[in-house]
Structure 1
Amino acid sequence: MRILTTLLAVAIGLTGCASSKLAADQRSAIKRVSVAEPTMPEKPTVFGNGSGVGFLLGGALGVGLANAGNDLPTLYAQTLGKYNIDVAGIAKADLEAQLRKQGFTVVPQGQPADAVLQPKVQVYGLTGNIFSSPPVRFPQLCLRVDLVGASAQKPVWGQLACLHVMQDAIPQMDARSIEELLQNKALLDSEVHKASRLVTAEIFSKM
């Protein structure tokens, strides 16, 4: 799994680094928080069944080439739509739940707030151990959040969390074949929600 962690970080080209904890004086000044609609990538990232061979032949570039010819990202996006699985909406709801756990009052967008949480889904799709036989995958989510004060010109706090590098969380995912994930609505919905809960909890564990 360490190889997979390195591979995905290189292949996807993730950027952004986590900030330190929110300063006590900043936190005490923030009572009401709204959550913006998460921004999403143009398309999901799905590591297909040829990813392991591609990595052995050409590293991260080989993985990219191995997946360049498949239409799994489009199929995955279509499957999410067919099953009404809204990745952005799920992430936003979980972020709001985590804010409440932290003691903040969550208000709808457009209402007066002391700060706005701005989420960015950097990566979503299907990931997993590319060397497993048979290949199995689970929903992935890489989420960046920035907390911007009402009068601030830049974020007062930010954090990045990616499921595929969360070594303690990965075993909690139910890895299955791509085909089974795409054909089983209840399974896919449950695992997407689980991925979101794990990632958002990780983000706020560092606030």
Structure 2
Amino acid sequence: MEESPDEIEVCKILLDLGNMFRESVCRWGCKRRRSSGGGGGGEFSARNIVKVLSPDTPLSFCPTTESDDNKHSQKRSREEWKREIEGLTHCKEMLIQQLETVRVHYDTQRLYNLKLKAMKQEEKRRRQQQLLTSSFHKQQEAFVRLIGPARSVAQQLQYPVIVGQKDWFSAQGFANNGFGPDLNAAAAAESMKKAMYAEARRSRMNKLKIRGRRRP
């Protein structure tokens, strides 16, 4: 079996793959082994030593742009926090005002609701009073219609006693003769009174019977 030119080219590349890729060497600063000889690194030895400015200030820091940038960034963050706090404070004040407005509106609506409830109770009481008054008048009229005939009979029977009392007693034997009233006349008056009550009772019973028949 013969290989194609492409396969041959791929085999050459695979054989030369170890020479094409090698381990890269670190070019940045790193610690050396203790066993290695030689002096310290040039980068570390070349660092400038800052002298002490005075006995009162033994510590001294090298002025670099990095510290200035940090201070600037910190200052900027503080200003941002300050603006955010101011915005939140303003938002809080607005919410407090809105809450007060809502509370005033709630109190107004609550008072109006109580007023409407009081008006409703007053109207209900007035209607109940009207119904009671109307019912009382109807019962009174029915009672008057019921006892009207018996009352008229009683008035007719009592008329001689109430209006013509003197003539009636004279006709029944009560004379001014100094001997007192006639006992027979008193018995007759008592009998008439009982008859009058019986007639009135009979009339009421008849009315009640008629009224009971009319009811469904």
Structure 1 or 2: more strand by fraction: 1
Q: TM-score per shorter chain, which class?
A: under 0.3
User: What's the TM-score, normalizing by structure 1?
Assistant: 0.18
The higher-RCO structure (CA 8 Å, 6+ apart) is 1
Structure 1 or 2: more helix by fraction: 2
Structure number with greater Rg is: 2
